[in-house]
Amino acid sequence: MSSLCMYVPRALEFICVFLESAVGGEEDLVKCANKAYDESLRKYHGWIVKGIFSVAVRAVPYHKDFVTALKKDASVSSETLYSDMQAALTPLRETINELNRFYTLRGQHSDDTV
């Protein structure tokens, strides 16, 4: 199995932590992105990739723009959006955990840096 497959649960972990922070009430999405990076990807990255992330995080949208972009319909309330996001986070977390178990059981889990 390709080591590239390990990128899937790592990326999903980043997304999950980011959304958990945003749904949890953090208005500053840069803080959400940095928290997600610290908890999911930082340990796998060398200094060059860490530097690239610190530049890329500056492109994170404002909270209001992020919420507007996620709404399919302008009539959907932010509360409904957050409720739907929260409902999606539990199965996402379960999927990430299952992927990690899968890779660990098959000896495919790696903490190598890129």
Structural domains in the chain, CATH included, are 3-105 (1.10.3520.10)
pLDDT at 2: 62
Quote the crossing angle between the two packed helices 7-23 and 78-105, to the nearest 10°.
150
Give the pLDDT score at 114. Answer: 65
Q: How far apart are CA 43 and CA 99, in angstroms?
A: 18
User: What is the pTM (predicted TM-score) of this model?
Assistant: 0.89
- Residue 21 identity (one-letter amino acid): S
**Orientation of helix 7-23 relative to helix 29-40, angle to 10°:** 140
Q: Which distant-in-sequence residues (6+ apart) come within 8 Å of 79 by Cβ?
A: none
pLDDT at 108: 81
Query: CA 72 from chain center: how many Å?
Result: 21
**For residue 32, what pLDDT is reported?**
98
Query: Mean pLDDT of residues grouped by 10 in the chain (114 residues)?
Result: 78 97 95 98 94 96 94 90 95 96 86 72
